[in-house]
A and B are shown apart, each in its own frame.
Chain A
Amino acid sequence: MATEVHNLQELRRSASLATKVFIQRDYSDGTICQFQTKFPPELDSRIERQLFEETVKTLNGFYAEAEKIGGSSYLEGCLACATAYFIFLCTETHYEKVLKKISRYIQEQNEKVFAPRGLLLTDPVERGMRVIEIAIYEDRCSSGSSSSGSSSGSGSSSAGGGGAGAR
């Protein structure tokens, strides 16, 4: 009975979530938002190392730009202070603008690079800027072995993937 149901579920699903990999923050430069570029072993067979590192480095670059301390950020801060911070009700901060850029980039990367390889990136801002969550999906075509593999492996929900996919 259980086996029959397994196959039934397999057929109904387009892709099954196998596991999730979490890229943690890299605090070696302080509290600025940077992610580790270390290549996780689970992605070894799924994506080229160079592509992955390039994505993470680009994201790190974006975050560095958002948190950059310089003339423009000081100007924004002083202007905000002068208006008793009411200006934040009208405009969005530089950081927010960069975050929008980041989410567009991640969507683009998902479409072009990760989804064809059965992976899905979740925007770190949805995880409290703690991790880059990469969901690994099993191939749909492989039935017998993957069904048992995914049944034991899909201990995690696809909420992250679903949330990202809903965008």
Chain B
Amino acid sequence: MAPPVRYCIPGERLCNLEEASPGSGTYTRHGYIFSSLAGCMTKSSENGALPVVSVMRETESQLLPDVGTIVTCKVSSINSRFAKVHILYVGSTPLKNSFRGTIRKEDVRATEKDKVEIYKSFHPGDIVLAKVISLGDAQSNYLLTTAENELGVVVAHSESGVQMVPISWCEMQCPKTHTKEFRKVARVQPEFLQT
């Protein structure tokens, strides 16, 4: 029989800090753990360490891009100094409202940062895997980087509108016209590829 579910509301005092440690959806104050969401309280019993108390809702609450997460974005415009992108997915969860991000020229790749040409790395409309390096300050957008082998362009369309096939880390070829175009291509791990 399923254990009785305990529902809690924001501000409800759950337990003492000595009995459990706070998890997601909770906050601590004056030595007690309070709930921060309206949902179900779950207590995970760990071996040895204190059980972790967390409050869960049935739908994962809107994820916001956090520093260090891999995000999927679409390039909206390019410039000689940076590329502006719309962040569409955080990890594998789609966002309901897209956020804006920026990939600076020096964050496109790890080697020869100053010789990068944005036009040879991204084009508007490309789907790019990037990592968040900073939330940016009040005026700017999220700062992203593609300076790793697994990050960069995953899907790109050529001038003729056909999806291109990657041939090296810096080139993609159109299967119809066989023209090669420069992009900063991502080396996607084999387990993520669907054939």
Same complex: no
